[in-house]
Chain A
């Protein structure tokens, strides 16, 4: 009995010492307690923790710290998150080379949210309270962005979101929150208007059972119903699904006009191949709408010939519409990381620049000054001309959607169709919206 108690007590002590060490700077007191315990391994561990966990003194900082967040590991969409981090780092390096912001160098600290809302809370809290970042940028997942937004609001730190689409992000009306990504309503409207314009009537969506899939399928179904397109079926799938063939055979019993595979990661390529091998889509009868992952160069490696005639919604500026900055960004990114960037990278790049421009124009790192500067910003980035229409000076009118608050009014969202095998995303036809299209509305196989 007493042995167990001893375990309990000594263990408790060690636990407490460790936790103290993790958060406290070394003090004579703690060191004394270490001696009492005489646990060499624990002491070593403590030293390590102390060294790395103690934040550098922030008063009169030489550098300006900004925070980035996004998914860098599973279950998050780490492909997108990784390139977002790379693009943000590139933006910071460019700014530093050109002399920094407010005469100081900028440092980016990027937190991995793993696509988990609870991690988003923790990472944001760490960036704000430990690293003392003056502003935040990035994020890919809406579910995570919604929790990060609350933390940023709590501490009053400005955020320029690059990718989360949920309407609620800007509909919150929080003064700290800005967004250059399209809202889900806007994003979906591009695809649904396209469907209506082409004249497809029978639609089947296979969507992943994540926040990404659920948000989109709801919005699409509603918008299509408003346009009188009601023959819409939604099928949910685990994004790790290997074989879609049985459900595709089921769909092939009564082939739709358009089949959508809204699955991120490896599932996107699998479904494209399987639908094509079955002869279901893309065919003269059935068009194929792929997920945003079709923008990556790996798409072709994974789908082969099956990618021809596939189309998808691209957020970013397609090559035909590039401005000078887009071209420089694409070339520099590819040279630096040996990988062609997707739309998420471009968005993260511009969001980082916007935040840094905001700090520069504010003339200080005071959060309120940065927010005011962002509200009045005019900046041309790789994705086009940025400004925020509805701000504290010009609130969202009652007859407009709430999500227009601090929202970039013209986020670049296009429908892109591949017409050749192994076609680089940049050479593919921009088919919608029509006013900026570079090719026919739809090229049928």
Chain B
């Protein structure tokens, strides 16, 4: 590594330290300034969407699996945790682990089933899966309480403070993002990109296509499941409406507008959109019309999203640098 590289490396660490300190300070700033704690809630939910949209970006943008079942896996995590807690009386920390595992298991099963499908068939199959799941949760109200909402134990007991939830969600987001970056910077990331570009060519070059495709589903479902369990134990009530197709559309739109090929851009896109929709709430129906138009125009004219190109420019990176990363990765 050159001396120039070392300096840049140090700057990055300094920036990271500042970022983490600032993130840690958010609740303090809100409290000390007497700002409404409501905004802490908005940011927690924004982190929740950031986790979903970045993990969907990993599945769709990196691995090329355009699944519509991501919110379904999220709901599996949340409902599994809530139901186990309700019927077996286990504490939230245990049920969260079980919920995440259930989502991962479902991800493995769906990943294995859709192996052969091309884009359009995959999209249709995952929509069908998601809708069947939602109808079941709604229909079996005796068990899930359906639309009346399943009450879930709060993660941090009876406290009315949102601060512990904020730090928990922040920690989950940072750790999951870091893990996903480690994953895509490794050989696995290279293989996933190779499969996305040309599955047959990748297979011919000895990439175990089946294994890596399923791996992508399992990892992203685990993360979606974790997001779902956290959401369940934070909001403490779950309804099947959290997994309707428009909600899935929202997550997809967040990732697309951020930039589907960069996990970080997808996460930032989610945070901006979630906060933006909240700020623009009084515009009512027209807010979603503008949002829809933005989504379509981004897709057509800015395939890399609106956030990712800014990153590239600020960092002096271009598409070439992206390619270089992909080439460098296996060498390490």
Q: Which A residues are within 8 Å of any B CB, using their own CB? A: 1-20, 22-25, 33, 37-39, 41-42, 45, 48-49, 52-53, 55, 72-75, 111-112, 115-118, 121-122, 125-126, 128-131, 143, 147, 154, 209-211, 214-215, 236, 238
Contacts and interface: CB of A to CB of B under 8 A. Distances in A.
Contacts of A236: 139
Contact of A4 (B13, B43, B185): B185
A117 B177 CA distance: 29
A12 B50 contact: no
Given A9-B16, A122-B41, A2 B9 contact: yes
Contact of A13 (B19, B42, B141, B262): B19
Contacts of B288: 73
Contacts of B328: 1
Contacts of A8: 16, 177-178, 181, 264
B281 A39 contact: no
B235 interface: yes
B149 A11 contact: no
Given A3-B317, A41-B306, A122-B41, A16 B5 contact: no
A211 B321 contact: no
A30 to B, nearest CB: 9
Contacts of B20: 12, 16
B267 interface: yes
Contacts of A25: 33, 35
Interface of B: 5, 8-9, 12-13, 15-16, 18-20, 22-23, 25-26, 29-30, 33, 35-43, 45-46, 50, 135, 138-139, 141, 146-149, 160, 174, 177-178, 181, 184-185, 235, 237, 239, 241-242, 244, 246, 262, 264-265, 267-268, 271-272, 275-276, 279, 281, 284-285, 288, 306, 310-311, 314-315, 317, 321-322, 324-325, 328-329, 332
Contacts of B9: 2
Nearest to B5: A2
Contacts of A33: 18, 22
Contacts of A49: 275-276, 279
Given A23-B39, A38-B314, A115-B241, A14 B268 contact: yes
B148 A15 contact: no
Nearest to A111: B281
Contacts of B332: 1
Contacts of B25: 20
Contact of A11 (B30, B184, B268): B268
Contacts of B322: 3
B185 A48 contact: no
The 5 closest A-B pairs by CB, nearest first: A11-B264, A130-B36, A129-B36, A23-B39, A126-B38
A236 B147 CA distance: 12
A125 B25 CA distance: 21
Contact of A143 (B37, B147, B285, B315): B147
Contact of A16 (B26, B149, B281): B26
B52 to A, nearest CB: 15
B279 A53 contact: yes
A9 B15 contact: yes
Given A9-B15, A116-B242, 18 more contacts: A3-B321, A4-B185, A6-B8, A7-B181, A7-B264, A7-B311, A7-B315, A13-B22, A15-B271, A20-B29, A22-B279, A49-B276, A55-B35, A117-B235, A122-B41, A125-B38, A211-B148, A215-B148
A398 B235 CA distance: 34
Contact of A6 (B138, B239, B281, B315): B315
A1 B185 contact: yes
B314 A126 contact: no
A339 to B, nearest CB: 16
Contacts of B324: 3
21 contacts: A1-B328, A3-B315, A3-B321, A8-B177, A8-B181, A9-B15, A13-B18, A15-B268, A18-B268, A22-B279, A23-B29, A23-B35, A24-B30, A75-B244, A117-B237, A118-B242, A122-B45, A129-B36, A129-B37, A130-B36, A211-B146
